[in-house]
Amino acid sequence: MRRTQLALFAMSLLFVLSGCVGVGGPDGAGNGIGGNGGPTPVNFKIAFIADSTIGSNADAVLNLILSENAEMVIHAGDLDYVDNPPAFEDNVNGILGADYPYFYSAGNHDVLAWDGADGYRTFLEARLNRLGIPWNGEIGTKSNFTYQGIFFLAMAPNQLGIGRTEAADYIRNELAANTATWSVVYWHKNQRKMQVGGKSDEVGWGVYEEARRGGAIIVTGHEHSYSRTYLMSHMQNLTVANMDNMLQLAIDDPATTTVDEGQGFAFVSGLGGNSIRDQELFDPHWATAYTSAQNATFGALFGEFNLNGDATLAYFYFMDLNGVIQDYFFVRAPG
């Protein structure tokens, strides 16, 4: 589906699903830039990628992000595969700009060059400081920050000394203490059933379940393909809540000890420019997969928050380098 076709169809579907959404509404006036803790701007667009390089394919993805007018990048690890933070930083700055909101978490191929004066962490901290964005914790591994009214947790479970249980506990506690309309949790590695390729269980189910219970969007990479689950009421048990294209997030109520009301979904956006892998798993909890088996090319998942002034609605689409939409869906914030 091409861009113009998608735009017309998506807007028509939006009016049906959301009851004729208009501009404005709570936290959606669009006055000002939103700041760190203010309202999210109308149609605020984030690009989600992982598994990039320094080269023509990754550059093409960054230029796609630029052409789609994304206002922020969340990069879920594996930044360049050559342990060269200064070169990676220069490449991002050359295409998107030194003051572009480009935030990442540590992937397994980033560990060796993560710390130090010229480490990835140092460049990430410098970017946040330039933008005036405060953060809590160890940035990129166990941390949180708020940008344009959206709460982000940047994690690296089972890496750089961050244990699985420690990461899960942190996600649970930070989500419970935050009141933002939208929460996004991003890390690099997966559980085997949370990707469609050849990866194994590497982070534990706790991080997935705590993010789901907290009503957060779960962003990962690691496997070099794109895949998205349906709305899930339990991640480890692979329990699908429904197969609708409108995903209603829900937060678990800790007071109801016999019922788990949490609902969420996870995606892998690993086509940032390194390579493209095949599909090995075909479980029914997957809404879509885009791999070498589907003749995939590189691309990014885009999410537009505060859609047309509805602060609780977001529209997502995965676009490849040919400008073709390979997946699209709507997400409703917990309410």
Over residues 265-301, the pLDDT tens digits come to: 999 999 999 999 999 999 999 999 999 999 999 999 9
Q: Is the pLDDT of residue 45 over 50?
A: yes
Q: Which residue has the tokens 């999210």?
A: 40
Q: Which residue has the tokens 């940035």?
A: 139
Q: Is the pLDDT of residue 93 over 60?
A: yes
How do residues 229-242 score in pLDDT, each as one tens digit?
A: 999 999 999 999 99
Per the CB < 8 A criterion, the answer to whether 184 and 74 are in contact is: yes
Calculate what percentage of the chain has a pLDDT beyond 90: 88
Residue 4: inside a domain = no
Q: Give 143's DSSP letter.
A: E
Q: What is the CATH number of the domain that holds 142?
A: 3.60.21.10
Per the CB < 8 A criterion, the answer to whether 293 and 32 are in contact is: no
Q: How many CA atoms lie within 13 A of 154 on its CB side?
A: 28
Per the CB < 8 A criterion, the answer to whether 188 and 222 are in contact is: yes
Q: Is the pLDDT of residue 28 over 70?
A: no
Per the CB < 8 A criterion, the answer to whether 316 and 329 are in contact is: yes
Give the residues across from 72 on adjacent strands: 46
Residue 11: inside a domain = no
Residue 161: inside a domain = yes
Give the residues across from 263 on adjacent strands: 250
Computed on alpha carbons and rounded to an integer, the radius of gyration of the chain in Å comes to 18
Q: Return the pLDDT at 38.
A: 86
Give the residues across from 231 on adjacent strands: 242
Tokens of 202: 């590497």
Q: Is the pLDDT of residue 64 over 80?
A: yes
Q: Return the pLDDT at 22.
A: 32
Domain range spanning residue 259? 44-332
Residue 12: inside a domain = no
Residue 125: C-alpha distances to residues 54, 132, 133, 135, 145 (Å) = 21, 10, 9, 9, 12
Tell me what the mean pLDDT of segment 189-195 comes to: 99
Q: Return the pLDDT at 11.
A: 46
> Mean pLDDT score of the chain, rounded to an integer?
92
How do residues 145-157 score in pLDDT, each as one tens digit?
A: 999 999 999 999 9
Q: How many domains does the chain have?
A: 1
Spell out the alpha helix ranges (H) of the chain: 3-18, 56-67, 85-95, 120-131, 164-177, 206-213
Binned at pLDDT 50, 70 and 90, residue 334 comes out as very high
Residue 318: inside a domain = yes
Q: Is the pLDDT of residue 39 over 60?
A: yes
